[in-house]
Amino acid sequence: MAVDLEIVCVGNELLIGKIKDTNAHYLAKQATRLGANVKRVTVIQDTLEEIASTIYEAIARKPQFIVTTGGLGPTFDDKTLQGIAKALNLKLEVNPKALAMVKQKCVEYAKKRHLPTEIELTPPRVKMATLPEKTEPINNPIGTAPGVRVDVQGTVLFALPGVPVEMEAIFNETIVPLVKHAVGSSVFCERSIFADNIMESRLAPLIDKVMSDNEGVYVKSHPKRTENKPHVELHLTIIACQEQMPAEKLVKVAKQLAVLIKANGGLVTVELEE
């Protein structure tokens, strides 16, 4: 059974083109390679209404996992947890475990800089430890704001920080093992062949044939712009149980496609077998 995963990136900076988001690509690529089916990425503004409605709608689609990035920091526009609370009709409360994590990070920081380690729990620091009730803080091995795990209606939602190194650290420590467990023996495989001297519109029926002959294999054509010469990458992918030998299946399908392309006047370059 497919393990669906959705990604929600929160932050005005992503929508005004200030920051080129790299988190969604990282998460999508890693999750796919773990065998998950990444269904959707949604990038939204830092408003309570946008966050709440997006989370509400994502949960209604019943993916096994939702990963949000951004909006966990100390400033007023870090509203992801408020948005989650609103979407799920949960109260916000200071989480003692999260507060201890934030305090510990501030102490470590002060020590490193030889500053006094009597940490004042200012409102912005307490804010980072204010979580929706019934949720779990996750240790942030790099930054101050903890991640948060929310279990709701069969979906596990993880709220991660927007700073890429922090997001990646929590993803790898906490989420990867869970996704691996959920996908079981499913794996993702991919393989490309390159077609020259044949237009995409002539490749279309050949791709259709190969896909209808080989259930589960997805073939996507990527025309590459070159000087008036058609050059098309054909990217073959499959998510299937290891026992079904998906890598071997892709080799076979790639060969079938190559034969068809050559029979239609195209030239084919096949990736070397790994």
Residues that bind its own copies (CB under 8 A): 11-21, 24-26, 28-30, 32-33, 38-45, 50, 57, 73-77, 109, 112-113, 122-125, 127-128, 144, 163, 165, 188, 190, 199-205, 207-208, 211, 218, 220-223, 225, 228-229, 235, 237
Nearer to its own copies, 15 or 90 (CB): 15
DSSP letter assigned to residue 242:
G
Place of tokens 């209604």: 60
Closest approach of its own copies to the CB of residue 83, in Å? 14
Enter the tokens of residue 82. 């408020």
Nearer to its own copies, 27 or 258 (CB): 27
Closest approach of its own copies to the CB of residue 159, in Å? 17
Q: Specify whether the CB–CB gap between 195 and 207 falls below 8 A.
A: no
Closest approach of its own copies to the CB of residue 26, in Å? 8
DSSP letter assigned to residue 1:
-
Nearer to its own copies, 42 or 82 (CB): 42
| Beta carbons within 8 Å of 38's beta carbon, 6+ residues apart | 5, 6, 7, 27, 28, 31, 32
Nearer to its own copies, 153 or 228 (CB): 228
Measured CA distances, 9 to 22, 50, 119, 173, 195 (Å): 10, 11, 31, 20, 36
Nearer to its own copies, 134 or 220 (CB): 220
| Beta carbons within 8 Å of 182's beta carbon, 6+ residues apart | 3, 36, 64, 65
Closest approach of its own copies to the CB of residue 134, in Å? 26
Closest approach of its own copies to the CB of residue 252, in Å? 21
Closest approach of its own copies to the CB of residue 255, in Å? 20
Nearer to its own copies, 91 or 229 (CB): 229
